[in-house]
């Protein structure tokens, strides 16, 4: 059930009507939203619903136990057990095949032939990485005493499974979301104009930009790099940078808009990543809910930057490699994570350098512009490994860029315009549309709804046939 489809629109209207009509008593309202969330997830694969429920229930019970226990040793043992169970489940379901293939390849290199060996095929549930991280956040936040309300099982189940963010985020913090469940949503506090802005923005990014770029530029070049000229291969790299931003931020906008109409607020997930002046700055702008999650639940527990500089470098490297592996069980993601880890380490050393030439360059008036250009192209280079189905294909595409640059019929004005819009969207801070929203907010609510319906009809009319799933659905 994709967001930009009629099926989701019908589903959401039903949930919206039933949810608001049954907002009291509170438990009934939460039960309605939880049921809707399981129906939404079951639309993809009912076989995975028990896994979602099990991980949610275990994390809820562990969080309750952590709030009741007072002995430090018992609390440490319980949180360690809960987090271990969650990570073990994720490793078994998502990474068993990856590590098994790696072990077989290593044994083969050592001369050990394994004949008649059949590797197990394990079902990969949609969004398992996201709801596992939510479960870990619930347990760890309870252990750290950061959840200001009593953890209730029904609320915890809804926190992990709430359908707008279930399969692709943004990653919510239990300490931020559970307090929102203590009171019935207030219709008088719903920012309808903001929700409509988010939904329209998300549809434009996903339907008109991301899907167009994927179909007309990115997918053909990455599927067969050797069949495309150097210019087309290069533009495909830029195209994927635009596609993944519009695809993922478009999903986030739709998720935030859907949640807001139901009375709940999600955290901001993107802040003009195209303006990043360094790899570190990029991760302060891109997928903020993941970057802050990795910082708070992995980097800092590893020791963060509190120890020696060499230890900080090791912690950065481990965090980013594991962050890359979190995205998928493939060497391409490991390389992508290692590239970002290496870039963060290099930037840390660069920022702390006392060399006069380095300090002079950093203080130059043109340096912010140069830094943005360098950072953008490093990010694009990394996206090649993120998108490519294998390291071999990533290498082929990079080699293809060096081949003859030919402008063919494939470079249409429409493609150039959409590519430009996709890249420009990464330079736009979230608050840039506030003046438009404030003007629309002055209109009567029925007029706002009518205007939104007309815009959606125009988007539907201009949309390409068939909408591919969001990129982050597979994580």
Catalytic center residues = 327
Q: How far apart are CA 403 and CA 59, in angstroms?
A: 53
**Which bin fits 443, alpha (ψ -120 to 50), beta or left (φ > 0)?**
beta
Query: What are φ and ψ of residue 285, in 5° steps?
Result: -125, -25
The answer to whether 146 and 108 have CB atoms below 8 angstroms apart is no
C-alpha pair distances (Å), 51 with each of 38, 48, 407: 11, 5, 50
Q: Max Cα separation, the chain?
A: 75
The pair phi, psi for residue 343, each rounded to 5°, is -65, -40
Cα pseudo-dihedral 422, 426, 431, 434, rounded to 10 = -10
Are 56 and 156 in contact by the 8 Å Cβ rule? The answer is yes
* Residues whose CB falls within 8 Å of the CB of residue 107, separated by 6 or more in sequence, listed in order: 114
Contact 302, 322 (CB under 8 A): no
Q: Are 225 and 406 in contact (CB under 8 A)?
A: no
Q: How far is CA 25 from the centre of its chain?
A: 33
Distance of CA 433 to the CA centre of its chain: 22
Which residue do the tokens 């067969």 mark? 224
SS3 136: helix
Residue with tokens 């959840």: 147
**CA 36 distance to own-chain centroid:** 22
Specify the length of the chain in residues: 475
Please choose, from the candidates 474, 475, 469, the residue with its C-alpha nearest in 3D space to the C-alpha of residue 206: 469
What CA–CA distances, in Å, run from 2 to 163, 207, 218, 255, 471?
A: 12, 11, 21, 11, 12
Helix, strand or coil for residue 415?
A: helix
> Cα(first)–Cα(last) distance of the chain, in Å?
16
């Amino acid at each position: 059930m994709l967001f930009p489809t009629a099926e989701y629109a019908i589903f959401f209207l039903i949930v919206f009507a039933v949810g608001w009509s049954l907002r009291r008593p509170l438990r009934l309202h939460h039960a309605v939203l939880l049921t809707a969330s399981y129906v939404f997830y079951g639309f993809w694969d009912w076989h995975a619903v028990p896994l979602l429920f099990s991980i949610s229930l275990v994390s809820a019970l562990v969080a309750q136990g952590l709030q009741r226990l007072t002995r430090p040793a018992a609390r440490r043992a319980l949180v360690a057990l809960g987090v271990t169970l969650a990570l073990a489940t994720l490793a078994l379901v998502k990474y068993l095949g990856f590590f098994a293939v790696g072990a077989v390849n290593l044994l083969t290199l050592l001369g050990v032939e394994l004949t008649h060996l059949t590797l197990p095929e394990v079902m990969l549930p949609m969004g398992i990485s996201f709801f596992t991280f939510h479960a870990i956040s619930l347990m760890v936040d309870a252990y750290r005493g950061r959840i200001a309300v009593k953890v209730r099982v029904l609320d915890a189940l809804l926190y992990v499974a709430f359908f707008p963010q279930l399969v692709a985020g943004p990653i919510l913090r239990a300490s931020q979301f559970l307090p929102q469940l203590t009171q019935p949503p207030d219709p008088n506090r719903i920012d309808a104009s903001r929700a409509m802005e988010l939904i329209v923005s998300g549809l434009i990014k996903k339907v008109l930009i991301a899907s167009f770029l994927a179909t007309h530029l990115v997918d053909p070049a990455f599927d067969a790099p050797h069949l495309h000229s150097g210019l087309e291969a290069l533009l495909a790299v830029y195209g994927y940078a635009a596609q993944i931003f519009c695809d993922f931020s478009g999903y986030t906008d739709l998720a935030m808009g859907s949640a807001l109409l139901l009375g709940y607020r999600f955290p901001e997930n993107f802040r003009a990543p195209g303006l990043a002046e360094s790899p570190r700055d990029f991760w302060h702008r891109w997928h903020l809910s993941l970057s802050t999650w990795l910082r708070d639940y992995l980097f800092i527990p590893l020791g963060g930057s509190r120890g020696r500089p060499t230890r900080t470098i090791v912690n950065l490297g481990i965090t980013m490699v594991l962050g890359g592996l979190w995205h998928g069980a493939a060497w391409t993601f490991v390389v992508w994570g290692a590239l970002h880890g290496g870039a963060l380490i290099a930037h840390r050393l660069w920022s702390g350098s006392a060399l006069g030439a380095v300090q002079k360059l950093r203080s130059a008036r043109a340096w912010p512009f140069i830094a943005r250009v360098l950072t953008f192209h490093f990010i694009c280079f990394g996206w090649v490994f993120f998108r490519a189905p294998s390291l071999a294909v990533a290498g082929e595409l990079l080699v293809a860029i060096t081949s003859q640059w030919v402008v063919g019929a494939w470079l249409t004005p429409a493609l150039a315009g959409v590519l430009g819009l996709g890249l420009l969207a990464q330079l736009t801070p979230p608050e840039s549309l506030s003046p438009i929203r404030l003007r629309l907010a002055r209109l009567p609510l029925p007029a706002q709804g009518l205007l939104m319906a007309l815009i959606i009809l125009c988007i539907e009319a201009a949309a390409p046939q068939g909408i591919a799933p969001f990129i982050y659905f597979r994580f």
